[in-house]
A and B are shown apart, each in its own frame.
Chain A
Amino acid sequence: MMRRLFPHPVLSLLLGLTWVLLVNHIGVGTLVMAAILGSAIPRLTHAYWPHQPRLNSLPLLLAYVALVVWDVILANIQVARIVLFMPRDRIRSAFIPVPITLKSPEAIALLAGTITMTPGTVTADMNGDGTVLLVHSLHAPDPDAIRDEILSRYESRLKRIFE
């Protein structure tokens, strides 16, 4: 019953929260509208997202978000230094194939987004069945080290959260 009313509980929660943030004021009207949006939109879009993603631990996911935000800040400074001070012909860009073992589409999308947001790397493509990501790195003197860091720092954590 609850599953049919709320096919994606986390999505419902996020939609409600987004509405409260957009209104920027907490009142009865806001909460009622948030509840309406949070229950109507997941049901209307249910056909496009039929299967139920597994989420093992919400605290671990929040810890992951905090880690990514911290990495974004640190690595931004790194990219700023490359842009400002590194001679143009010494920047060695490279495409790096990163084989992944994640299966859940949501986790793969999150990993690809993380790679793009953490500076120095952009997810350019993935292979046909989603087992290898193509990552472009701005400055990669050692491509294998970048691949290993993505796998150990982000993929292993996502694996624990989603699988």
Chain B
Amino acid sequence: MENLTPKAAAERVLKRVLKPGRYTGGEYGQIIKDKKDVRARFAFCFPDTYEIGMSNLGIRILYGAINSHPDLWCERAYTPWVDMEEQLRKYNIPLYAHESGDALRDFDFVGFTLQYELCYTNVLNTLDLAGIPLLSCERDDTMPIIIGGGPCSYNAEPIADFFDIFSIGEGEEALPEIMHLYADMKESGEYTREKFLHAAAKLDGFYVPSLYDVSYNEDGTIKAYTPKYDDIPTKITKRIIADMDKAYFPDRFVMPYIETVHDRIMLEVYRGCIRGCRFCQAGMVYRPIREKSVEVLDRQARALRESTGYDEISLSSLSISDYSEIDGLCDTLLKWTDAAKVNISLPSMRLDMFTKELMDKISTVRASGLTFAPEAGTQRLRDAINKNVTEEDLLRACRVAFEAGKTQVKLYFMLGLPTETDEDIEGIAQLAKHVVDAYYDLYRGVKGRKAPTVTISVACFIPKPFTAFQWEAQNTLEELDRKQKLLRSKINDPKIKYNYHDAEVSLIEAVLARGDRRLAPAILEAHKRGFKFDAWEEFFNYNNWVQVFADCGIDPAYYASREIGEDEVLPWDIIDCGVDKRFLLRERHNAYESVTNRNCAEKCTGCGANKLGGERTWCSRCR
């Protein structure tokens, strides 16, 4: 047998699989370094397909941030699709990183970004394909350090047994720091996994789960987290980048040959969110808000346009219209983008900020429809979740869209929100009807007008860690089913289309989202039974999950549909995301009274995240 790199071996089977361009690497903009010059190597894995992973802005930023250090090398890897997995397993080809083609198990670090809970089985399958033992305790000094980050790391307890380290918060500075620590220890000869993990646990923002013992009460709730050493923190505080203007941001991207999900320039405008929607995890864990200046954004946009040739710039943030200088930013960009045939897209637009002026500025959008997220059907429930939009806001935004010639409006809602009554559900149908009516109010008697389409897309509420609703019970499947049917029965206008999410998926997500370390054996068993790509409808199988939980002695209802006591120790109490638990509790009770709260731009609500610092933040303006 020849001495092939795993990637070279894989290329021999690529004609047998779909979309072989997923596995070749070799894209323009990929970073190749000389191994001689490199002190530590990091393989960044996205536990889903190449097309999805390549669309992730976080990876693009961290890939560039690590590689900006000449002595560090970051490469990429993705979970192979099932046809490629079959080939890799058949010929014993270990999973490899795209740049060097070397096996993942030969790296110093293998990092996973954890964007959604349903990727957990893919994480295990990816490790397995790489020939890396799944459990942290089974890996020896020759194995890479397995590190996780991203949204799910705020409660990664269900997968804590599989990871050596979690990076909590923003990684631009943290990942190079831990890689340098590793390189120093390797070079001085003092490296052992044990010593390194202990040292890593002392760095800011790194959680080493194996160094914390968890004890439980008789009723099954958590008693305490106990550090194994005196010199490691009892709570891990999230890392942030203080000044977004000075933060690393890539001036070039790896350019995929095959079509990816978001094949465009993604320009991160700010981090955090001024809104305090009570169901939203992202709105809490990315606080405090930190903006970039218009000047820096314009410079970054121009550099990326030049280096990528993309003809679309998507302004990325949690709620773009809340950027304090949104008009100035659009005006500055439009000075050159029109002539360069570049479109600007504004996803995540709040409906109460959607104005004709803004719409005119981005009139190059070719889509025939717009999407808004009222989230709930009545003002009472919208107040309870602190959405802070009114029916009038929605109708006004829709009128602007209709007057501009749009005929399709998509509305996002949630079923099963805390305090929800049947009246709230009927309100969703009424709201959709009022949008249809608003269209005909504008165009009554006008001949040749197309009929409008109002699509209501209804997700199921999932209680998430670090939200005001983290203690809430999720509705049972029976209750969600009843509510979905009730809503359907209230929709009798063919111009209103009704889509709803699979409640069974939402239940499993809720279990994993609020789970603790006792779930690990079930996730391992799920992997052993071949679960993978659970985020894909064609692979997710609810009954199989229920069977795994039953066989492992886990009651899904304990995690999903149980109301958690306010004095209980939560699995994620080990993490400090900046937002105070007492603030979340206050917000929970405000929800019960349908009392709304101000947004950060209006008045500080005292969430506590300002203790983390930050520049160009609303917090400093009201401090």
| A and B together in one complex | no
Using CB atoms and an 8 Å cutoff, list the residues of chain B in contact with chain A: none
